[in-house]
């Protein structure tokens, strides 16, 4: 038996993920999908943007803000019309102290939903500190 089979902590994160119970999530985390493929195969990947949103949510809860930023950015790139997703991207960027980019995301949330009170509040917070 190899060392990696006896000691699972010596395996790479990708290998541990693919051999765990969260295999479908691993496909999304470790196998990047080219944008052209996504655009040309929209019907086959109908929920990919939602998957990236939830991956962002998981990373945000775990405190991995840079990972959350990447996932939320991918989600809004695939589906730019959901105010909540822009708001979450703004809140992660605010937590990372990237205030200009946070303001931009909050503004996009308000474009999608002008009555979004949390996005207005976030925009005021980061606007005061920029």
- Tokens representing 105 are 């995301």
Torsion of CA 112, 88, 69, 28, to 10 degrees: -90
Domain 42-129 class in CATH? mainly alpha
Tell me which residue has tokens 């990373």: 59
Global pTM value = 0.66
Mean pLDDT estimate for the chain = 79
Q: What percent of the chain has pLDDT over 90?
A: 55
Picking from 130, 101, 126, 105, the residue whose alpha carbon sits closest to that of residue 116 is 105
| pLDDT value for 15 | 55
| pLDDT per residue as tens digits for the range 89-115 | 999 999 999 999 999 999 999 999 999
Locate the domains of the chain by residue range. 1-31, 42-129
**pLDDT tens-place string over residues 19-45:** 555 555 555 555 555 555 555 655 555
């Amino acid at each position: 038996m190899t060392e990696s089979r006896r000691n699972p902590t010596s395996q790479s994160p990708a290998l541990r993920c693919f051999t765990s119970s969260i295999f479908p999530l691993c496909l999304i985390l470790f196998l990047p999908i080219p944008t052209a493929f996504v655009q040309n195969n929209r019907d086959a990947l109908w929920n990919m943007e939602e998957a990236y949103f939830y991956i962002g949510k998981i990373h945000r809860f775990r405190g991995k803000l840079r990972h959350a930023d990447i996932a939320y950015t991918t989600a809004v790139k695939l589906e730019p019309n959901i105010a909540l997703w822009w708001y979450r991207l703004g809140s992660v960027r605010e937590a990372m102290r990237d205030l200009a980019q946070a303001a931009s995301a909050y503004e996009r949330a308000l474009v999608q939903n002008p009555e979004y009170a949390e996005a207005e509040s976030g925009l005021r917070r980061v606007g005061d500190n920029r």
